Amino acid sequence: MLRLPRLDVLMPATLDEAVLALQSPGSRLIAGGTDLLPNLKHRLESPTMLVSLAGVRELSTITVDDDAQELVIGAGATLTTVEQCPQVRAHAPSLCSAAGLVASPLIRNQATLGGNVNLDTRCRYVNQTDFWRSAIGGCIKSEGTVCHVVPGGKNCVAAMSSDCVPVLISLGASLQLVGPNGRRRVAMKDYYVADGTRHTTREDGEVTTAVIVPLVSTPRRAGYSKWTVRGSIDFPLTSVALCFDLERDEVAAPIAGATVVVGVLGAKPRVVTRLDEVVGKSLSDPETAAIVAERVHRQCKPLANVPYEAPYRRQMLRVHTRRAIEALVADG
């Protein structure tokens, strides 16, 4: 039995009321609650008031803005909704795959996309009961001062463990945030920072209101690869999103642009660099998969922050990247 700490709950009906409520000290936003409530039950945060978005209906719509050429997904849409939405499937199929691989069907019925892009970083030494943590004196992300993953480390390396984030960055998505100072938009590739104790640039009083994916008229193949021990419930242990823009609408066509993003390393997802070498090569050329897999393997170094040996996970990044590209080619 895990009890929540004593706290108050506010149920605003509109976004404006929610933003206003968030200005009181000690308040904390809650959407689906599948990440925050376990963390509160584990005493990882101590807000005095939760501002729930459960009653804010305006955040759940999914629309295609033809003028701006954007897919606009309300942050309150559940992952089940995102996975099954025909518009998302048409314009961002790799996001459907990622949303459908998060945790379990029960969690996806409840968790929101806005919550998933703000999922707190995770670590085997953090996401435990306070009783468990007390035996090792906590760490820099909880009650202590040391890092159990990187001995002597001063920077928290808890892992960005969202399935949707790498995909959204690979698709060039941005976030709409609303706060007391108004509305702003931030590219998701700039939203995350390499500090596990606070890994996004969202201000305390801000609410993520929408995830915006640009529409493309040129041919594209995008996919997501998640490896974990079980077929359900688990967080990813390796996580790779791939997006290839092609010169023609067939997998044999030359690649016009490539983006690969890897999660579950440190607090910040890694955008793999130096992929220019595959531009101009055919996606179905086996050398393409080999080159991309090699770049991922060289640049991504998993840590012992989540279960399973880090060297094994690094080796697997190469295998899963190559297989993800082979799967895109096989799908045609």
**Contact positions vs another protein (CB under 8 A):** 1-9, 11, 30, 32-34, 37-38, 41-42, 50, 52, 54-55, 80, 103-107, 109-110, 124-125, 127-129, 132, 135-136, 148, 227, 229-234, 307-309, 312, 315-316, 319
How many whole angstroms separate alpha carbon 72 and alpha carbon 76?
A: 12
Nearer to another protein, 20 or 37 (CB): 37
Least distance CB 42 / another protein (angstroms): 8
CA angle, residues 176, 101, 260, in degrees to nearest 5: 65
Least distance CB 30 / another protein (angstroms): 7
Collect all residues with Cβ–Cβ distance below 8 Å to 25 and sequence separation of at least 6.
Answer: 48
Collect all residues with Cβ–Cβ distance below 8 Å to 163 and sequence separation of at least 6.
Answer: 98, 99, 101, 102, 116, 224, 226, 236, 239, 263
Nearer to another protein, 81 or 282 (CB): 81
φ and ψ of 182, to 5 deg: 105, -155
Least distance CB 312 / another protein (angstroms): 4
Least distance CB 156 / another protein (angstroms): 17
Nearer to another protein, 42 or 141 (CB): 42
φ and ψ of 219, to 5 deg: -65, 145
Least distance CB 108 / another protein (angstroms): 8
Nearer to another protein, 89 or 124 (CB): 124
Least distance CB 316 / another protein (angstroms): 6
Phi-psi region of 137 (alpha: psi -120 to 50; beta: other; left: phi over 0): left
Element (H, E) at 221: strand 220-227
Least distance CB 139 / another protein (angstroms): 10
Least distance CB 31 / another protein (angstroms): 10
> Could you give the C-alpha distances from 89 to 3, 71, 78, 229, in angstroms and in order?
39, 11, 15, 27
Least distance CB 54 / another protein (angstroms): 4
Look up residue 12 and give its two tokens: 């605003």
Nearer to another protein, 91 or 318 (CB): 318
Coil, helix or strand at residue 269: coil
Residue with tokens 């089940």: 80
Look up residue 320 and give its two tokens: 């899963």
Question: Which of 297, 300, 163 lies closest to 236 in space, CA to CA?
Answer: 163
Look up residue 292 and give its two tokens: 């991309």
Residue with tokens 């994916």: 213
Residue 308, classified by CB atoms within 10 Å of its CB into exposed (0-12), middle (13-18) or buried (19+), is middle
